Amino acid sequence: MTKSVLVVDDNAHLAKNVGEILAEDGHHVVVETSPLEAWERASSLALGVALLDVRMPDLSGVELFLRLKSIHPEARYVLMTGYARAEEVQPALERGAELVVKPLPPDALRALVRRAMAACESKPPVTFVAVEDGAGLADVEDATEEVIVELQEGEPEEEFLARVVHRLHRVTRDGAQVRRAVFLVGEEDDVDVRPLLARALFTHLAQGEGGELELVAHLGSGAPLRHSLLALAGTLASEGNPHVSVRVKIASS
């Protein structure tokens, strides 16, 4: 879904002018002169950037920012002012909003919104974790966001595999990039869907920008399980994809 730019200013002429400049630059723009009407409309928007006048009747730009932030935390926010005092906007600035003096020259306005939209649309790489047994989960450490899919008690392995594949597709659809996939296996030596699940993770990495696949066993796991994981890793690695590395790891917990 295309991200929108929301422009809210009780000065109708200024709001219209800003909206036209941004629309000509290729953005989907929503212009409102009432902050209350903007708030009522906000839940239906795929909000990317919001440009909010600071001083407006009924609801200030800071108050509107705080409301919008609660339902669109990923969006970027810019407060526009000609004369606001620092204490008026401090709560918003502390929560990540940007402050500019209006009116902005058209080129500066375009550059500002392009930069804000790019920041909104970029997402950090994701570590995807499939968990048969969560005993080694504490060993999965990464600076990126983690997406964890865990086998539920009594859940058939085939359903677990289907959930993992579905979640991988959803992560991609949401615009995130999986660069590291971790498969924490259970204690059983031979699980029919285990090679299929590992291959699903491997294929997802290969079809993206590449990355690392880790097959993780517990410290107390038996030799047959370790050998089966090594064989599985060898099978995947033998495909010769230079963009995906495969390794077997023994978790300490």
pLDDT tens digits, one per residue of 19-66: 999 999 999 999 999 999 999 999 898 899 999 999 999 999 999 999
Distance CA 109, CA 100 (A): 10
Q: What percent of the chain has pLDDT over 70?
A: 90
Which position has the token pair 């992560």?
Answer: 171
Position with higher pLDDT, 58 vs 218: 58
The CA-atom distances, in angstroms, between 79 and each of 24, 69, 103, 112, 233 are 21, 13, 12, 12, 52
> Domain boundaries in the chain?
4-121, 126-251
Q: 4-121 is classed in which CATH architecture?
A: 3-Layer(aba) Sandwich (3.40)
- 130 forms beta bridges with 149, 183
The radius of gyration computed from the CA coordinates of the chain, to the nearest angstrom, equals: 24
For residue 144, pLDDT over 60 is answered with: no
Banded pLDDT at 139 (limits 50, 70, 90):
low
Q: Hey, CA dihedral for 78, 84, 85, 91, is it positive or negative? A: negative
pTM above 0.75, yes or no: no
Residue 11's pLDDT is: 94
